[in-house]
Amino acid sequence: MTTSPAGWYPDPAGSGGTRWWDGTSWGEHVQPAVQPVASAPPWDATRPADQQWGAGSAQPWAGTPEPAAPQTFLKRNTSSLAALALVVVCVLIAVTTDYIVFAFIPAIVAITAVQKKEPLAWPALGIGVALVIWRFIA
């Protein structure tokens, strides 16, 4: 049995676009179909010579670049996961030393994750804020 390499292929679900194939299964990422671009004939007497084929910067035969592969879970949530790791470190510091200043660091990192619109940003921010509240109550 042969398998196709990872890449963008026509969507088997029939969306008309392309779907990411990771080499073993179809991904959740779908892109719309590329629309053909109408171009002028190669030698158009009504166009100036500097706009004829070979004279311009864009080559009509140059294809569009292939879309990038979807990002991994780790790349999509870098700041959020860093904030959650900092929560663990800050809890250990808070339990052993009673310092509360460190409790703000995970919340600040989680705010940057929210600004980046990471999927885990809001849970990380909630846990970071809960850590701050816990340290001020305790």
Torsional sign, CA 71, 75, 81, 85: positive
Look up the pTM and report it. Answer: 0.48
Mean pLDDT of 44-55: 60
Neighbour-count burial of 132, counting CB atoms closer than 10 A to its CB (0-12 exposed, 13-18 middle, 19+ buried): middle
CA-to-CA distance for 83 and 97, rounded, in angstroms?
20
Render pLDDT for 64-78 as a digit per residue (tens, 0 to 9): 667 777 778 888 889
Sorted by sequence, the CB contacts under 8 Å of residue 81 that are 6+ apart come out as 74, 120, 124
**Residue 54: which pLDDT band, with cuts at 50, 70 and 90?**
low
Residue 115 pLDDT: 92
Please determine, for residue 61, whether its predicted confidence score (pLDDT) is greater than 60.
no
- The answer to whether 135 and 98 have CB atoms below 8 angstroms apart is no
Mean pLDDT, range 8-32, rounded to an integer: 84
**Residue given tokens 């679900």 in the structure block:** 13
